[in-house]
Each structure stands twice: as C-alpha cells, then as structure tokens.
Amino acid sequence: MNNINEMFALPIGLKPIPIFGSLRLFTSDSLKRSYVDSMSKMTSISGAISKLVDNEMIIPCFLTKGIISTILFKMFPTDRARNDEQFFKEEMRNVFGFYESGSKRIYIMISNQINKFGFANNERIYSVTVHESCHMASSKNQSKFMNSFRTLLSDYYTNYFTKIFSLDSVDNKLINDIIKLLFTKFEKSTIVTRSNLKKYHELMMKFRDSSQAGDSFDKIIHDFFVAIRLFTSSTSQFIKSMNQFSHITDPLQTSYRDTFGGVDPGNIPIQELIFPSEVIAIGSEITHGKDIINRIFALL
C-alpha cells in the first residue's frame, strides 16, 4: 500500500451537515471527490467506499478548530467512550473519524490546514475509514458481524483471559457467552448500566475454577471493572491512571500479537473490554488483511 500524500480540497462551496440537532459540520463536492479519489489509490474496496459516500453513509467533512471536543461532548456515553480516545492521539490532529449511532453515519473529518502537517495522509484516512466502517457494520448487522468474525473474536478473548487469569483450561462456551453479552448489552447500548456490568461480573467470576491466579483473582476482577468504569466515565482520567491498570490492559495488546500477528502501537487498550468490534477494527489495521476488510464491507 503506497503512502501517498495529497492536498485536499479548499473549503469553498461549503454544504452544512446537521448533526446532534444544532451542530453543523461542513462538506463540499470537491472534498468528497478528493476523498473518493484518495481511497481509489489505496484499496480494492474503493468502489464500496464510493457508494457509501454517494449514499451519505460516509460523509467527508472539514475538520475545524474546536469541533472535535464539541462533538464528543454531544455524543451518547458509549459512542463517546468509543471515540474519545482518538482525541488524545497526535496522529488524529489532521484526520479524525467517528461512527455516530444516532444518525448511523460515519464522519471522516479532514484538515486542510497548509503547514508541515497540512497534507492529508491517504493511509491514515484509509485506516480511519476501515476502522469506523467496522463499527458501523457491527451496529447494522450485529448477528451477521458476530457470525463472520466469531473465530477471530473467540481466539482473541481466549488469549486475553488466559493471560490475565493464568487459566489452565479454556471454557469455550464461557468465552462465547462473554462475547455475546458484550455485543448485546454494550456494543449497541447508549449507556453502560450497572445491571449489565453485574451480568458481566457474574460471567467473569466463572473463570475462578480454572484460574491459577490464586489469591490475586479477586483483585484482578476488581481492577478489571474499575478500569471499565473509569474509562466509560472519563477517558482522560483513565489515560492518566493507565499505569495502575497495566496488568489488565497490557495483555489486550499482546493478545493482538497472538491473534493477528502484530500490534498497533497507537492503540490505547481498554475498549476491547466492552466493544468487541474494536478487536476486529484494530485487527484490520494491524494486518491490512483483505479477507477481514472485505468481510467488513460485505456487511454494509
């Protein structure tokens, strides 16, 4: 995949895109053409992306100062948790994307600022597009998404739970029950509820019988759910406190290596504990695997 840098369209002929009621983003025909053209240079699924743009399911917009923090503030709590961590990544300063579950659209926000960082990086735009398309595919066709990626998800979460609990055996049904719970109670929810966390906790406690963690088991469980609650209430506070939860989050990264053959060094590991589609989204970025990406877009 060539890393081609292109200067995107200047913000003329602007068209407002209403979002969250009173908030407006801005696009233009030239920006849409530039976006579609850049994707045609990057991937064989450019035709699918072009169709999604035509159908206004993917909307390229101009990234303006201060708009990201405003957008994050107006999102549903679970949407915000999924997207908030991008705000803290330097590489997202010029390209920022999010899937908004209310409108069921992907917004790809691209800066046209002309300085040493003022050229849109095609590979970054492509990566963000695929990542957010994965979340949209999961939201639109949850059962088909689960079936399509069942084996990869099972492998990933088996690797992860084996690591954090030092399991001497794996209960495949328990792993699949956890994945199903995450999809049905967290992935599409607008809020993380106490009752759903309780159901999650009940399933997690079933690892005790096969765990070799001994007296550490209860502390691992405690820290696991503290990390989730902190992340979903304040991403910034979670990031400041990440070192306290390295025994919970570091295995999320190494499980990518075991499952997908590599890691995304820019990933802030935590979303995987509540949004299983994040595993596939990150996995697609690690491998750039045509099989994974084609399966994602086949669901859109």
**Span 72-78, average pLDDT:** 88
Q: What is the pLDDT of residues 171-183, one digit of tens each?
A: 999 999 999 999 9
Give the single-character DSSP code of 190: S
What number of other Cβ atoms are within 10 A of residue 24's Cβ? 14
> What is the distance of C-alpha 70 from the center of its chain?
19
pLDDT at 3: 40
How far is residue 82's CA from residue 76's CA, in Å, rounded to a whole number?
Answer: 10
Q: Is the pLDDT of residue 133 over 60?
A: yes
Does the predicted TM-score (pTM) go above 0.85? Answer: yes
* Mean of pLDDT values over 20-25: 89
**pLDDT over 70 for what percent of the chain?**
90
Res 79 pLDDT > 90: no
In this prediction, residue 76 has a pLDDT band, given cuts at 50, 70 and 90, of confident
pLDDT at 99 over 80: yes
In this prediction, residue 124 carries a pLDDT of 85
Nearest to 253 by CA among 290, 282, 289, 232: 282
Question: Alpha-carbon distance 43 to 39, whole Å?
Answer: 6
The DSSP symbol for 60 reads: E
Q: What is the pLDDT of residue 5?
A: 46
Q: pLDDT-based confidence at 1, cuts 50/70/90?
A: very low
| 215-261 pLDDT, tens digit each | 999 999 999 999 999 999 998 899 999 999 999 999 999 999 999 99
Which residues are CB-neighbours of 257 under 8 A, at least 6 positions away?
263
pLDDT of residue 39: 87
Q: Is 299 helix (H, G, I), strand (E, B) or coil?
A: coil
Q: List for the chain the helix, strand, coil content (%; round to 5).
A: 60, 10, 25
What does residue 118 show for φ and ψ, rounded to 5 degrees? -90, 25
pLDDT at 96 over 80: yes
For residue 292, pLDDT beyond 60: yes
Which position has the token pair 């949407």?
79
Q: Which tokens hold the place of 25? A: 């983003």
pLDDT at 297: 93
Closest CA to 261 of 287, 295, 288, 285: 287
Average pLDDT in the 6-13 region? Answer: 60
Q: What tokens appear for 175 in the block?
A: 């792993």
Question: What's the pLDDT score for residue 83?
Answer: 85
Per-residue pLDDT at 114 = 44
Query: Does residue 102 register a pLDDT over 70?
Result: yes
pLDDT band at residue 188, thresholds of 50, 70 and 90?
A: confident
